[in-house]
Amino acid sequence: MDELGAATREFGGHREMLRGARHQPFSQNWPPWLRTWCTIDNRVTRVAWLNRSTILYAGNDKWCLDPRVVLLSNTQTQYSIEIQNVDVYDEGPYTCSVQTDNHPKTSRVHLIVQVSPKIVEISSDISINEGNNISLTCIATGRPEPTVTWRHISPKAVGFVSEDEYLEIQGITREQSGDYECSASNDVAAPVVRRVKVTVNYPPYISEAKGTGVPVGQKGTLQCEASAVPSAEFHWYKDDKRLVEGKKGVKVENRPFLSKLIFFNVSEHDYGNYTCVASNKLGHTNASITLFELNEPTSSTLLQEVKTTALTTWKGPGAVSEVNNGTSRRAGCIWLLPLLVLHQLLKF
């Protein structure tokens, strides 16, 4: 049998004996009711439950006005109450007081209500120009008070960037753009996380612009690649004259970070220097790119090279024998035959 006057509590099917004054945690993540009782016997003449100095129940009589507090049992062996929908305001000492013929006896339990963390305020997504300062805020509640940390979600970021509700960044750079995650934890439940997206604006920077060589009559492409936030707008110029979309034989293809100037049939007047200009609201930059002529070997040139190579006698050591010279000529003729066939095919 339980000790006379011992207080017991139950929440979510979990039961404990409460002997003397003790601090007992109660999490709001469990079913939101609390049952607590005293073990009594026939020596008890009076019994009551108190919260601090307020009488909740005296025997079967309810003294408090809170409808959430109800009497569960008042028998010869047990005196129990239940508090429904427990919240943080119910925290504090609860006392079971029993009166016997000899002397009064009390048993007390101190209820601690634990609350899982909750982020109640967080900064909105922000767009800022490179070099400026930003301040991010993440306010969380809970019992015990949660620990708040900030982390930059980036492959280059290592660890936490702040272990506080506030994150200050001085002179922000483009590498510091991305998502920032706020986490609040207090070991009552799993941490809660929220994210803020930080966009860092910066002027265009041309990262690649290379010239290219193309033969007359072939297709050629000049490429200009630029990094910028917001994305850059591209324009092409030749001799200070802007090239417009729809020019015969020329097409401009623009993507967020790449522009292509395409020539479908390169002519002599297409060769020269071109200027790629990338711009956004923060500035502009340019690069010079050259389209130059690339000579293709003709069939007659190829044949001349073949004849010269095939009919030239090797003058190296061991080539003084007449037999070797004849063998060399026969080998040269055999090797020349497929090249002559190739020459005839090129004419078509």
pLDDT tens readout for residues 318-345: 333 333 344 444 444 444 445 444 455 4
pLDDT tens string 180-238:
999 999 988 899 999 999 999 999 999 999 889 999 999 999 999 999 999 999 999 99
| Sequence-distant (≥ 6) Cβ neighbours of residue 336 within 8 angstroms | 306, 307, 310
SS3 state at 174: helix
Give the confidence band of 301 by pLDDT, cuts at 50, 70, 90. very low
Does residue 243 contact residue 260 with C-beta atoms inside 8 Å?
A: no
Q: Which domains does the chain have, with CATH numbers?
A: 7-115 (2.60.40.10), 123-201 (2.60.40.10), 211-293 (2.60.40.10), 299-347 (no CATH)
pLDDT in tens, 93-149: 999 999 887 788 888 888 888 899 999 999 999 999 999 999 999 999 999 999 999
Q: What is the mean pLDDT of the chain?
A: 80
Task: Report the pLDDT value the prediction gives residue 347, as an integer from 0 to 100.
Answer: 47
Could you give the C-alpha distances from 44 to 74, 76, 79, 191, in angstroms and in order?
12, 8, 11, 48
Q: Which residue's entry shows tokens 């956004």? A: 280
Q: Respond yes or no on whether the N-terminal peptide bond of residue 317 is cis (omega within 30° of 0).
A: no
For residue 9, what pLDDT band results from cuts at 50, 70 and 90? very low
String of DSSP letters for 17-82: EE-SSEEEEEETTS-SEEEEEEE--TTEEEEEEEETTEEEEETTEE----TTEEEEEE-SSEEEEE
Nearest Cα neighbor of 109 from 151, 163, 49, 170 is 49
* Helical pair 299-311 and 322-347, crossing angle rounded to 10 deg: 170
Over range 290-319, report the average pLDDT: 52
What are the tokens at 175?
């590498």
CA–CA separation, 152 and 150 (whole Å): 7
Mean pLDDT of 70-81: 91
Q: What pLDDT sits at residue 297?
A: 59
* Cα gap 195→323, rounded to integer Å: 87
pLDDT of 327 reads 41
pLDDT at residue 37, as a whole number: 84
- Prediction pTM value: 0.66
| Residue 149 pLDDT | 95
DSSP labels, 204-262? EEEEEEE-EEE-TTS-EEEEEEEEEESPPEEEEEETTEEEPTT-TTEEEEE-SSEEEEE
DSSP letter at 157 equals -
Contact 222, 291 (CB under 8 A): yes
